[in-house]
Structure 1
Amino acid sequence: MITVTVRQKNDKDFASFTVEGHANFAEKGSDIVCAGVSAVTFGAVNAVEALTGTLLNITQGGDGGYLHCEVPKSLPKQTEEKVQLLLKGMLVALQTIERNYSDYIQITFK
């Protein structure tokens, strides 16, 4: 199962998120849940960089089953708002996947 953990600040904005595990929905190369989660998360990380110029603090696992991203502290307010909007869009997409494939992905908040 893929687990997504969203760590929030006091105001419900993202402080960080972690994606770990494998969906095991289908064989490697045919797993649409894994592919969807990967596309959504990496697309969001790339969008944050391309559209805001912000580099998230990223840690990845070598086997592809781990991604941890932290939002830098002390961003200018306007940049922070853009970063948060992009990450909240990512969350909506992941929740859509979770709604349809809840046996293979779980999202939690801390």
Structure 2
Amino acid sequence: MIKVTIKRDDHKLIQSFTITGHANFAKKGADIVCAGVSAVSFGAVNAVMSLCHVTPDIEQGADGFLKCSVPSNLDESTHEKVQLLLEGMVVSLETIERDYGNYITISK
């Protein structure tokens, strides 16, 4: 199962997200749940980097591990843009969870 953890601050702003595990929906190369989660999460990180010119703290590892932390020293305008992109990611992940809840879980 893929486990997504969204860490928020006291103002409900996303500080970081962590993704671990594999969906095991289908064989490697045919697993649409893993592919969807990867596309959404990496797409969001790439959008933050390309559109906001922000380099988040990124950790990657074995077994589908991805952790992305938002830098704390962003100006307000940039921080709002980063948050919008990450909230879009959360909505997309929640859509996957709604349709494939046996293979992905999101905790906030």
Fold shared, TM-score > 0.5 on shorter chain: yes
Q: What fraction of aligned residue pairs are identical, expressed as a percent?
A: 58
Q: In the aligned structure 1, how far is the partner of 2:56 from the partner of 2:100?
A: 28
TM-superposed deviation, 1:78: 0.1
Task: Confirm whether residue 68 of structure 1 aligns to residue 59 of structure 2.
Answer: no
1:40 aligns with: 40
Q: In the aligned structure 2, how far is the partner of 1:39 from the partner of 1:64?
A: 16
Gaps of 5+ in 1: none
2:29 aligns with: 29
Q: 1:68-88, CA deviations, whole angstroms, 9 ceiling, x for partnerless residues?
A: 000000200000000000000
Q: In the aligned structure 2, how far is the partner of 1:11 from the partner of 1:85?
A: 14
TM-superposed deviation, 1:105: 0.2
2:85 aligns with: 86
Q: In the aligned structure 2, how far is the partner of 1:43 from the partner of 1:30?
A: 19
CA RMSD of aligned residues (A): 0.7
TM-score w.r.t. structure 2 length? 0.98
Gaps of 5+ in 2: none
